[in-house]
Structure 1
Amino acid sequence: MKPKAPTHTPPPDAADRRAVAPVICYPIDGLPVPDMALYQAARGSAEKTAEIMVPPRDAKVFQVPAGHFFRITSVEGPQVGDLNLWNLHDLDERFYSGKTRALHGTHLSVSDRIWSSHPFLRPIATITDDTLDWYGFDEFGGSVHDVIGTRCDPYTHNLLAGGQYHHCCHSNLTRALADYLDCPTGDAEPHIHDVLNVFMCTGFTRDTGQYFMKASPVRSGDYLEFFAEIDLLGALSTCPGGDCSSEHSSDTAACYPLLVEVFAPAKRMLKDWSQPPMNGYDRSHGV
């Protein structure tokens, strides 16, 4: 795809307009700062309470109580995962990918937080450990754990390639949530939302501005770990693209399971910690 040729002549001050310095849209100096030292100390006392293995090209649902940790690990080979998170007690409060991106950037790592949807808009999880934090941004502008993509879905697949493919992450997550809720997939599907692309290496091309993916640097034993700020319901899909080195809706790409583990710290370690309150806006909207 070539860049679109302009149809208008640049104005005399075009260079000056382009040279205007950018301004950060959402300075985060006023946000509550996560107490990473507290989380690290609590993690040191934690014991595993649950685990679930997510098979290739499938998804599983899991629960994480507030104040617990959960870890997503690549266990057999390079594999990308698509993560949804909800308030365990109210599925209307769910991970807000767009606002998380606006606050923390295109890719997440340690001390970045997962923010929930309006009208709640509060941190529901905090990233506490990341074995891929060394990757940074590569020469192509790629990095890992993105909140810029959505999730592979059968509607886009049908639009671009035709056919009926049922193992896109959107469908995997829909089936898993429907099983958990014991409801038809049509009732579960509206709850599926834009994801954190765990381990996925992505960016935007510099010439056309298109979303790209490349082989994930994840290897067996790598993990991303979170602290649950509220009672969470999670759903994780193992992407049918495997490491997403060539395509992300495939029955031929090498795919591997992902392991989700939950850890409970000693209660004494979090005696001074409390769950984040819901957003303080009064919801009057000027009326």
Structure 2
Amino acid sequence: MAHVPAAYQATQGSPLDIDRDFYRRIADDSAGRTLVERLRVPIRDARAWRVPAGHVFRICTTDGPQVGDLNLWSLANPRERMWASRTRQLQRAHVTTFDRLWSSLPYIRPLATIVADTLDWYGVDADGGRLHDLLGTRCDPYVNRLLTGEDFDFHCHSNLTRAVLPHGLDERDVHDVLNVFQCTGLNADDEYFMKACPARPGDYLEFFAEIDLLCALSCCPGGDLSLQLWGATDEQLLATCHPLDVEVYALDPALLEGWRSPAPSAYSGGHGLRLDGPDWTARHPSIRRK
């Protein structure tokens, strides 16, 4: 197949043209880090946590293969949240080291940058499967009801909903996810497929927080996805589930010298509107309200 250039190109000096040496130094300086928080995400459940800008958080498959569904928000303003589809366009459909997770409009800035991926060896398998996907989204009880006619409460959407309630968010704030450790692709009929997670105990995906973040992670009730979600019994699926661990690290301040959090988009927010008088934003409060 001929290589077709990407629609979105990294021009010199743009936020897509990142300083790889800077992020390599962050990944390599494990001795200079300080562990500030460690938490476990139980099977079929979710947890939420905060990460200050300039810190690193790591998601680990400590006990065995397990898929996790990740959401990110700006801690200061949860209306700014991870935008999976735009990240898919700006980066790729399956992300790895040096890819960034981008925020929603009107902010459109990097929330986090991946600095380490112990599964980058996997590449592309014989079926076109790749890891850490933005193609699909979280499983949810509404689709489950649609396909099976039955209610089941412990989908990733439900798990994430429970996890963010103590932080003042609700179901409406849960959004399309990064499927961490998940192997997916598109088949010959352009249909989405999922394969068994290849992660081993000790594998991890590591992120540098570009701004202050609220994060939430669900342990998918499908476990390592080695079984079909709609076909296997619940007991069979349960046997494929493992917890996930999250670690948050403060970095050596010397590593961050010269770095600063990215600002939101500088677009003026006019959207081509031509209104008389100086108070048009007051009469249209939905425009450019960050």
Any residues of structure 2 matched to 1:171-182 within 5 Å, and which? 171-181=158-168
1:36 to 10, 13, 20: 20
What SS does the corresponding residue of 1:90 show, helix, strand or coil?
coil
Q: Is the 8 A contact 1:239 1:248 kept in 2?
A: no
CA drift of 1:20 comes to 10
Match of 1:138 in 2: 125
1:141-156 aligned within 5 A = 141-156=128-143
Aligned residue in 1 for 2:71? 84
User: Structure 2 regions of 5+ residues with no counterpart?
Assistant: 274-290
- 2:230 equivalent to 1:230: no
Correspondence list, 1:1-287, <5 A: 22=4, 24-30=6-12, 31-32=14-15, 33-43=17-27, 44=29, 45-181=32-168, 188-206=170-188, 208-248=189-229, 251-252=234-235, 253=237, 254-287=240-273
Q: TM-score, normalised by structure 1?
A: 0.88
> 2:56–2:207: 8 Å Cα contact kept in structure 1?
yes
State the secondary structure of the residue aligned to 1:101: helix
Partner SS for 2:227: coil
Aligned counterparts of 2:251 and 2:101: Cα–Cα separation in 1: 20
Contact residue 49 and residue 216 of structure 2 kept, 8 A: yes
Q: CA deviation at 1:71?
A: 0.2
1:44-100: CA deviations, max 9, x gaps? 121111011000000000110000000000011110000000001110000000000
Comparing 116-125 and 40-49, the one that deviates more: 40-49
Between the aligned partners of 1:215 and 1:224, the Cα distance in structure 2 is 17
Q: Which amino acid is the alignment partner of residue 106 of structure 2?
A: P
Matches of 1:26 and 1:72 in 2, distance apart?
A: 28
Offset at 1:220?
0.7
Runs of 4+ in 1 over 4 A off after TM superposition: 19-23
* Paired AA for residue 263 in structure 2: P
TM-score between both structures, scaled by the size of structure 2: 0.87
Identity of aligned residues (%): 49
Q: Displacement of 1:104 after TM fit? A: 1.1
Provide the rounded CA distance (Å) in 2 between the counterparts of 1:193 and 1:236. 12
Once the 2 structures are TM-superposed, how far is the Cα of residue 27 of structure 1 from its aligned partner? 1.6
For the residues of structure 1 that align with 2:85 and 2:229, how far apart are their CA atoms?
21
Aligned residues between the structures: 263
Match of 2:170, SS state, is: helix
Measured in 2, the distance between the counterparts of 1:61 and 1:213 equals: 26
Deviations 1:5-40 (CA, angstroms, capped at 9, x unpaired)? xxxxxxxxxxxxxx9985532122353233232233
Residue type of the alignment partner of 1:266: D
**What's the offset of the Cα at 1:42?**
3.7
**How well do the aligned residues superpose, as a CA RMSD in angstroms?**
1.7
Q: SS at 1:61's partner residue?
A: strand
Q: Distance in 2 between matches of 1:66 and 1:36?
A: 18
CA displacement at 1:152 relative to structure 2: 0.4
